[in-house]
Amino acid sequence: MGLLNDSDNQKKISAIFMRHSQKLIALSFQCGIIWFAILASDVFNNKTYFSENALLPGLVVREFNPRSSLSRLLEALKEEASVHPSQIPSAWIQGHFRQLGLDVYQNNFTVQYPFGSRPIYKGNNLYAILRAPKVASTEAIVITTPYRDYDSIHDNTLPSIALMIELAQTFRKHAYWSKDIIFLVTEHENIGFQAWLDAYHDVSTSDYILSEKLQSTSGLIQGVINLELSDYYFSHIDIKIEGLHGQLPNLDLFNLAVELCIREEIPTSFQSQFNFFPSKVLTWKSWLHNYITMSRMILLQATGLPSGGHGLFHRFGIQALTLKSVTEKRSKGDSVTLIQMGRVLEGTVRSLNNLLEKFHQSFFFYLLPSTRSYVSIGLYIPPFALIALPVLIKALYLYLNIQESESNSEICPRGKIGAKGGILKPEVTVKYGAIFLIFFISGLSLQSKELVAATYLLRVHLFIQIFSLLFIPIFVQIFVQLLEQFYPNSNLLIGFITVSCMPPPVSSAVLLTKKVGGNEAVAVFNSALGSLLGLLVTPALLYLFFNGSGDVPIWSAILQLSLTVVFPVVVGQGSRMIIGYILPKYKFFLSVTGNFLLLLIIYTTFCDTFSSHNEAFTLSTVIITTITVILLQFILLGLAFYVSTSFLFRFTPEDIIAVLYCSTHKSLTLGFPMLKVLYANQAQFILISFPLLVYHPMQILIGSFLVPFLQKWMQNKTRFNNKLHFV
């Protein structure tokens, strides 16, 4: 610590860093690229496996064997399509589904093209529902295909429709279905999918697509298989998984499709690359194949465009993929038939029918070097961090360069832009405008009903709130007293204590709990409860620890907090009761507005720091704060994990995951504006608030890094508990 506190040593370290910054940037980027490329080798990635045991792939005997009826049905459909070119033969398709006893409906929609003369196009989706005979329509499985005839620029999908009708005829003979099966034929490609999804969920995601309300629906959709089969005979199946904005389905669904295709002796490819079976021996040929496959996947995700109609289902939390037939020049005797594909679909639907809950066991973030190997988020995050590190190095270089040139006042001069008395007038706009709006948006977004929905797990909730708002502040107070012996910077140490008093975040803890597969309801409940308690507990703790050493006396501070924190939250909750039904439509806008206001508060804080030439905010401050925050987070995570897994509490693995994230994470969105109210007039406010600014991104990075390890632990724990039940 003394090395970093000495001003001469600080200048030497800064000079060395600035002199070698370009080398560090090049080294970091190159190491990241090399590390990333190495992951394509089967030696350094993992073989795929099934995490969800309920799928039971290939366990049942597949019975689909229509013989010649499928080919006759396909020929009849081709004749009907030729009579009505460029138009979906809705009457013919509806008639065949109705003959089988299915509920058949239409979904009409219109699309207004947003450019030029803004023409309006009309479309029609057809869907038939095979109702589960012995259960209510609470869950569903969907088989879809976009309608394309011979006039389409894409390969026709008439075989897909014929196969769906034959599958419906086979499925209706059995009574073991626990989920409804929906057969969907859409018009106008992805636009038709989006129109049907909007109508099914009774939402509107686009101002240019207007969809009629559906006459009938089913329950929660568990899985979707989209078909793009263009001929009765084909050479192999290409599996597409990339969705809108790079979203991916659960890895178990992909593994299920691959496994069943292999069992039916159907060659499979991914990114137009056939599978190289994983090998423990590093070979140039297998590595190059895997690297090309993985690179194609990344580039396709980077575009943000879905690779098929399945990609629009992901935004609704529905796991989906596309099976596309590929025809090559080879003898008909060696080709795959549509009947084989039907047996694959039968096995897939039977496996999805076995599911007792939504997909959650396996990965949602992964890369695929081949169809039989994967790279988890825990493996590709470190090289990605090295690739992104040059941005931070360059930012630190510019900051040190600013300090050396003594031009801080030119970048954020007093009386200009974001400093006090400047153009933005932060002493008025931030203190009475931005902070009020942030807590108003928090009140609008706070789902108070969740506080009632999950109250039955009282022990878990008490543990999280006591650990977060009582144990952590006391522990950090002791931790800071020990740290004070080595680094006597009182303002920075105050900052660590303020972090410990903050409530849990609303979003990051919930998202990470969901990624691992923990108890999402517990995470949502405690995020909402912690936000409410934090409005009262956090200021009380700060005054308790610092004996009312803020800018204003305690009663004045309580009044100020009531006006700028509690009052806008109450107004937001009251507004939610009145206009809550339209809030989902503006959820993204509210999120962007809240983030913008938070960035405005942080920006004006740094402007004040630079304009006042705060010499206490140095490179050593950044290094010490970052190291201390990382150390503190790992200690708190370890303590939370150790205590929550003890026999004293007997929490389930899912509850422990929620405890781990909700009890140790702290909110920047609520915490920073609250500090701005209590300590805004102190000259060292940047030092007090800086630990919180570091803590927030670090908790997300560390939490994401731990995801695969916690998933593995939870799977092992679940298997162990299941064995105990059998014994």
Token output for 326 = 């590929």
Q: Which of the 8 DSSP states describes residue 9?
A: H
Residue 360 amino acid letter: H
Task: Please compute the mean of the pLDDT values over residues 384-395 and round it to a whole number.
Answer: 88
> Is the entire prediction scored with pTM above 0.85?
no
pLDDT at position 32: 92
Residue 68 amino acid letter: S
What residues are paired with 223 via a beta bridge?
141, 319
pLDDT at position 218: 92
| pLDDT band, very low/low/confident/very high, at 101 (cuts 50, 70, 90) | very high
SS3 label, residue 147? coil
Q: Where are the alpha helices (DSSP H) in 202-312?
A: 251-263, 284-303
Give CA–CA dist 9/3, Å, rounded.
Answer: 6
Q: Which of 278-287, 443-452, 538-547 has the lowest mean pLDDT?
A: 443-452
Token output for 576 = 């939610």
Give CA–CA dist 639/645, Å, rounded.
Answer: 10
- 676 CB-contact burial (10 Å; exposed 0-12 / middle 13-18 / buried 19+): buried
Q: How many CB atoms lie within 10 A of CB 4?
A: 15
DSSP E strand boundaries for 230-275:
233-234, 236-240, 268-270, 273-274
| pLDDT band, very low/low/confident/very high, at 191 (cuts 50, 70, 90) | very high
Q: Which of 91-100, 446-455, 696-705 has the lowest mean pLDDT?
A: 446-455
Q: Which of 283-297, 322-336, 414-428 has the lowest mean pLDDT?
A: 414-428
Query: How far is residue 620 CA from its own chain's centroid?
Result: 35
| pLDDT band, very low/low/confident/very high, at 727 (cuts 50, 70, 90) | very low
Return the half-sphere exposure (C-beta side, CA atoms, 13 A cut-off) of residue 505: 22
Task: Please compute the mean of the pLDDT values over residues 193-220 and round it to a whole number.
Answer: 90
Give CA–CA dist 264/700, Å, rounded.
Answer: 43
Angle between helices 587-611 and 668-679 (to 10 degrees): 40
Segment of 134-148, 326-340, 489-503 carrying the highest mean pLDDT: 134-148
pLDDT > 80? residue 634: yes
Q: Tally the residues of the chain.
A: 727
Helix (H) or strand (E) holding 105: strand 103-112
Q: Which of the 8 DSSP states describes residue 329?
A: S
Token output for 158 = 């008439």
Give CA–CA dist 660/673, Å, rounded.
Answer: 25
Residue 20 amino acid letter: H
pLDDT in tens, 215-239: 999 999 999 999 999 999 999 999 9
Q: Which of 24, 62, 29 is nearest to 342 (CA)?
A: 62
Q: Which of the 8 DSSP states describes residue 179?
A: S
Return the half-sphere exposure (C-beta side, CA atoms, 13 A cut-off) of residue 241: 30
Q: Which of 31-35, 225-229, 538-542, 682-686 has the lowest mean pLDDT?
A: 682-686
- 43 CB-contact burial (10 Å; exposed 0-12 / middle 13-18 / buried 19+): middle
Q: Residues near 258 by Cβ (< 8 Å), separated by ≥ 6?
A: 48, 239, 268, 371, 372
pLDDT at position 415: 42
pLDDT > 70? residue 420: no
% helix, strand, coil for the chain, step of 5: 60, 10, 30
Task: Please compute the mean of the pLDDT values over residues 355-364 and round it to a whole number.
Answer: 86
Residue 220 amino acid letter: L
SS3 label, residue 569? helix
Q: What angle do CA 583, 584, 586 make, to 5 degrees?
A: 65
Helix (H) or strand (E) holding 223: strand 220-228
Q: What angle do CA 204, 209, 211 make, to 5 degrees?
A: 70
What residues are paired with 210 via a beta bridge?
110
Q: Which of the 8 DSSP states describes residue 307?
A: S
Q: Which of 169, 171, 211 is nearest to 188 (CA)?
A: 211
Using an 8 Å Cβ cutoff, are 282 and 38 in contact? no
Average model confidence (pLDDT) across the chain: 81
pLDDT > 50? residue 408: no
| pLDDT band, very low/low/confident/very high, at 649 (cuts 50, 70, 90) | confident
Q: Which of the 8 DSSP states describes residue 364?
A: S
What does the DSSP assignment read for 473-540? HHHHHHHHHHHTTT---HHHHHHHHHHHTSPPPSSHHHHHHHHHT--HHHHHHHHHHHHHHHHHHHHH
User: Order of strands across the sheet with 103-112?
Assistant: 209-211, 103-112, 120-130, 180-186, 139-146, 220-228, 319-326, 236-240, 268-270, 273-274
Give CA–CA dist 15/322, Å, rounded.
Answer: 55
| pLDDT band, very low/low/confident/very high, at 184 (cuts 50, 70, 90) | very high
| pLDDT band, very low/low/confident/very high, at 552 (cuts 50, 70, 90) | very low
| pLDDT band, very low/low/confident/very high, at 283 (cuts 50, 70, 90) | confident
Give CA–CA dist 304/245, Å, rounded.
Answer: 4
pLDDT at position 712: 80
As a dihedral over the C-alpha atoms of residue 406, residue 410, residue 416, residue 420, rounded to 10 degrees, the angle is: -10
Task: Please compute the mean of the pLDDT values over residues 108-118 and round it to a whole number.
Answer: 82
Residue 58 amino acid letter: G
Using an 8 Å Cβ cutoff, are 56 and 390 in contact? no
Give CA–CA dist 457/462, Å, rounded.
Answer: 9
| pLDDT band, very low/low/confident/very high, at 412 (cuts 50, 70, 90) | very low
Q: Which of 5-19, 126-140, 304-318 has the lowest mean pLDDT?
A: 5-19
| pLDDT band, very low/low/confident/very high, at 409 (cuts 50, 70, 90) | very low
| pLDDT band, very low/low/confident/very high, at 577 (cuts 50, 70, 90) | confident
As a dihedral over the C-alpha atoms of residue 561, residue 533, residue 426, residue 397, rounded to 10 degrees, the angle is: 150
Helix (H) or strand (E) holding 402: helix 377-405
Q: What angle do CA 503, 691, 588 make, to 5 degrees?
A: 55
pLDDT at position 446: 60
Give CA–CA dist 80/242, Å, rounded.
Answer: 33
Cα first-last separation, the chain: 56
pLDDT at position 332: 52
Give CA–CA dist 358/418, Å, rounded.
Answer: 48
pLDDT at position 488: 57
- 337 CB-contact burial (10 Å; exposed 0-12 / middle 13-18 / buried 19+): middle
Max distance between CA atoms of the chain, in angstroms, equals 88
pLDDT above 70 covers what percent of the chain? 79
Q: What angle do CA 421, 426, 428 make, to 5 degrees?
A: 95
pLDDT > 80? residue 140: yes
Give CA–CA dist 77/455, Å, rounded.
Answer: 56
Phi-psi region of 340 (alpha: psi -120 to 50; beta: other; left: phi over 0): alpha
Token output for 363 = 């990965």
